[in-house]
Structure 1
Amino acid sequence: MEVRLSEIISALSYALDVTEGQPAGHAARTCAIGMRIADIAGVPHDELSSLYYALLLKDAGCSANAAAVCTLFGSDDRTYKELRKRIDYRSKRANAVSAFRSTLPGAPIFTRVKRLAEIARQEDGKTDELYGVRCERGAEIARMIELPESTAEAIRALDEHWDGGGVPYGLRGTEIPLAGRILALAQIAEVYFTGGGVDAALAVAAERSGRWFDPDLVAALLTTRDDRAFWASLHGDAVELVKAFEPTDHLLMADEEGLDRVAEAFAMVVDAKSPFTGRHSAGVAHIALGVAETMDLEADCLRDLRRAALLHDLGKLGVSNLVLDKPGKLDADEWAEMRRHAELTVRILERVPPFRHLARDAGAHHERLDGRGYHLGLTAGELGWMPRTLAVADVFEALTADRPYRDALDRDEALAIMRRDVGAAFSPEHFEALEAWANRSSLVPAAP
């Protein structure tokens, strides 16, 4: 089976939107705007495909600095990132106001001011470090999918500015790859268009021309002012919209191995969200395959199982790191947010044609045989072999890994804890297979 890679990436870009605190379709609309700019500016035809994928994957590294942002400001990483995109953060006044709003919201004023002073002392190089991590990880994700190096380099240069005042490397003018310059302009234009319409998008582009943005690219964008059909099209289904912008003479197709690479790459995006889940998705896939092989599951099913395991926690990209990394017990609101991640996993995977048939089972990894799981409260009769396998693999991996509230448990401790829930949470035969596999296998997953 081969499918257009663009169908997969554009659908999965919704997961990146939610991580970045943006409305659904942000990356896809950015792609449409960027490709329109490229067409008007006369970007060479042989560069359009790599630009197209860079626009869709521009935020592939966004989860890599989420925990650090949350720790630094003591606030929701997604809210901070959303606000940063809506201000001229190079303005000292705007940056100060934004930093105050983002720092320990709800805390006493003295506590917030004290934290702000600590942040100011660390500021030298801190922003460069945060965005350097993000840019390098985004480029790495593009390379994992085997996209052109020019795509990776464009993503790496996403936050560079025309006058050299951007981050993290301070590139200037034509030192910034052309595709990177288009990414920088298109994403801010999309943010302001979504928030305030065409006039707002073009006004911010014109105001930052020659400073943030390449003046020639801004001039190209400004010519679209009266193109009502184009701007109106951005209000529709963004994934359908961007299909029209893919260079038809350079379609990239994904075969079975390509689909595996996409699953592995997005598993890395998910696991980068928290320092406590650095190898969780790969670990769950490793354990799930071990359980399935112990049960002599047919080889044809193993590939689907591995993909579902790699992608089962996609929805955690929509959970604040204040919740994911909280060292204590979650309160009712936090627990409700955590539980929603399973539903979001289903919603994202349902958008991806070759993964659609996995969506329900991948999102059911927290369901229980007794119906007390989440997010749907399914019971034994509604749970097939895949969610039963994912359930034991997910819990076993979590118990044998460090978490913010405890150290990793050894194999025997983890199995003893799980054994208490056999028949209620876990299928007896799947737990038995897990136990047999764990007693003879390494707990360290192979690198993808």
Structure 2
Amino acid sequence: MNRDLQISLFDLVISLSNAMDLISPEMVNHHKRVAYASLKIAQQMNLSAEEINDVVLASTVHDVGALSYNQRINARQYEFSNASEHAELGFLLLSNFSQMRGLAEQVRFHHLPWSNGNGKVYDGQNVPIGAHIIHLADRIEILINREDEILGQVDRIVKVINNGKDKVYHPDIVEAFLQLKDKEYFWLDLTSPMIGDILAKSTDISLIQLEIDDLLEFTKLFSQIIDFRSSMTATHSSGVAYTGEALASYIGFSERECKMMRIAGYLHDLGKLAIPDEILEKPDKLDEQEINIMRSHTYHTHRILEVIPGLEQITEWASFHHEKLNGSGYPFKYTATDITLGSRIMAVADVFTAIAEERPYRCGLEREVVLNILHKMVDDNALDKLVVSILEDNYEEINRIRIDAQAEAYRSYKNFGNRLVNDKMNAD
């Protein structure tokens, strides 16, 4: 076990970007493209290294508040309504994470027009230059037709951006862009399938490392982005995270390993960002096609996280929670010999939370029913007998931990919605 766990903030942000872009082929690499354009414009404007790093990080997650499929696709239109809504949602989410709090304002105002200088201030608050850089970079990326060769599109894109100078876009930022427009590499990099590698080599953000307590805080943000998409599952990841941590503690995992288990719980449904809203929100039984789509989420969780150096153990625990000891699980069809104790704990934590928690369309199941279901899965060689017995022996305490964690998560969810409503009312 790595006792000096350190994970690159940039790698985590890129993984979140990749997860958000899974929602549609139209979104693939959108955040990384915007980050690259923002980087080059910021460099052209001779911003400081710290300012450049900030604008790159903010642009990599600029649409983090677009929680639904429709919100994300709507944001792909050059001109669209309610642009400030997802920006405000993103601001509220990022404000809860200390490492990103300073960048939240850039996300909040990344659709604010320059309006001949009026966009310098909003409601008495200075708007950071990074927000206006992201605004322009985002619209440049939106204007690119992914079906056509890029260099033949430059004149059209430049014309549209120039027409928005002063009225929509900060004139100094437009000028910086115009100094880049004739450099073929800028456009070829921007549309390259290797944009992630290009971006990583163009910045020193990867030097920023998160230790385990920072990682706990950041992955809690991930869980909110995952869960807040739907009232059906608004607190699920928190329940799984704390249940998994409690089980790990009872089984004898170290304090650091227990924290890693909570992180895995926060991340276990990351791949659900690729699942359409109508499937996540469906209270009725899923049909065969919908089940197949839903089953892909653990695959996406694994592929998104496996590329992050240092996160290997957590990735395994997070990704294999639907594998079964008898080999009938998914997506890898692993058997008992392949599934570690940590992954077995996460599997039990997920099933337990799913059947014991309250959902908008049903009450949580009672202790006897929950245990009957878990014992049946043990008899079928789906779940680990030891882990289930630990849960049964400590049911009241573990269930209380789950309930408390989900109650706190629900308060955050409600507060999140209330703050958004209040901000909209104040804006009106």
Which band: TM-score by shorter chain?
A: 0.7 to 0.9
- Is 2:38 the partner of 1:34? yes
Using a 3 Å threshold, how does the CA distance of structure 1 residues 174 and 44 change in structure 2: closer, same or farther? farther
Q: How does 1:142-291 map to 2 (within 5 A)?
A: 142-147=94-99, 149-163=101-115, 171=122, 176-193=127-144, 195=146, 196=148, 197=150, 198-199=153-154, 200-234=156-190, 235-246=192-203, 251-291=207-247
Where structure 2 has 5 or more consecutive residues not aligned to the other structure, the ranges are 410-428
1:440 deviation in Å? 2.9
Q: Which moved more, 1:38-47 or 1:183-192?
A: 38-47
Residue 22 of structure 2, aligned match among 18, 21, 27: 18
Q: Which moved more, 1:172-181 or 1:81-90?
A: 172-181
Using a 3 Å threshold, how does the CA distance of structure 1 residues 247 and 439 change in structure 2: closer, same or farther? closer
Preserved CA contact (<8 Å) 2:261 2:317: no
TM-score by length of 2: 0.82
- Is 2:270 the partner of 1:314? yes
- Equivalent in the alignment of 1:439: 396
Preserved CA contact (<8 Å) 1:163 1:173: no
Using a 3 Å threshold, how does the CA distance of structure 1 residues 173 and 22 change in structure 2: closer, same or farther? farther
Preserved CA contact (<8 Å) 1:58 1:155: yes
1:445 deviation in Å? 4.1
1:347 deviation in Å? 0.8
1:415 deviation in Å? 2.3
1:15 deviation in Å? 1.3
Q: How does 1:37-116 map to 2 (within 5 A)?
A: 37-63=41-67, 66=68, 77-78=69-70, 81-89=72-80
Q: Which amino acid aligns with 1:233?
A: D
CA distance in 2, matches of 1:284, 1:3: 22
1:337 deviation in Å? 0.8
Deviations 1:169-193 (A, max 9, x none): x949995431111111111212333
1:318 deviation in Å? 0.5
CA distance in 2, matches of 1:36, 1:345: 31
The number of aligned residues is 392
- Equivalent in the alignment of 2:416: none
Preserved CA contact (<8 Å) 1:326 1:405: no
Preserved CA contact (<8 Å) 1:318 1:341: yes
Using a 3 Å threshold, how does the CA distance of structure 1 residues 28 and 140 change in structure 2: closer, same or farther? same
Q: Which amino acid aligns with 2:312?
A: R
Using a 3 Å threshold, how does the CA distance of structure 1 residues 298 and 174 change in structure 2: closer, same or farther? closer
CA distance in 2, matches of 1:365, 1:285: 12
Where structure 1 has 5 or more consecutive residues not aligned to the other structure, the ranges are 67-76, 91-126
Q: Which moved more, 1:203-212 or 1:257-266?
A: 203-212
Secondary structure of 2:354's match?
helix
1:242 deviation in Å? 1.8
Preserved CA contact (<8 Å) 2:323 2:333: yes
Q: Which moved more, 1:417-426 or 1:328-337?
A: 417-426
Using a 3 Å threshold, how does the CA distance of structure 1 residues 46 and 376 change in structure 2: closer, same or farther? closer
Q: Which moved more, 1:196-205 or 1:154-163?
A: 196-205
TM-score by length of 1: 0.79
CA distance in 2, matches of 1:282, 1:29: 32
- Is 2:285 the partner of 1:329? yes
CA distance in 1, matches of 2:238, 2:100: 25
- Equivalent in the alignment of 1:419: 375
1:38 deviation in Å? 1.5
Using a 3 Å threshold, how does the CA distance of structure 1 residues 380 and 24 change in structure 2: closer, same or farther? same
CA distance in 1, matches of 2:219, 2:115: 37
Preserved CA contact (<8 Å) 2:66 2:72: no
CA distance in 1, matches of 2:307, 2:91: 24
Q: Equivalent pairs: percent with the same residue?
A: 26
Using a 3 Å threshold, how does the CA distance of structure 1 residues 384 and 423 change in structure 2: closer, same or farther? farther
RMSD (Å) for aligned C-alpha atoms: 2.9
Residue 90 of structure 2, aligned match among 116, 138, 142: 138
Using a 3 Å threshold, how does the CA distance of structure 1 residues 292 and 360 change in structure 2: closer, same or farther? closer
- Equivalent in the alignment of 2:419: none
Preserved CA contact (<8 Å) 1:57 1:142: no
Q: Which amino acid aligns with 1:374?
A: Y
CA distance in 2, matches of 1:194, 1:10: 23
1:437 deviation in Å? 2.5
1:84 deviation in Å? 4.0
Deviations 1:30-71 (A, max 9, x none): 1110111112234355522322211112122222xx2xxxxx
- Is 2:355 the partner of 1:399? yes
CA distance in 1, matches of 2:276, 2:159: 32
Preserved CA contact (<8 Å) 1:304 1:358: yes
Q: Which amino acid aligns with 2:196?
A: V
Q: Which amino acid aligns with 1:85?
A: R
Preserved CA contact (<8 Å) 1:6 1:252: yes
Using a 3 Å threshold, how does the CA distance of structure 1 residues 421 and 208 change in structure 2: closer, same or farther? same
CA distance in 2, matches of 1:409, 1:268: 24
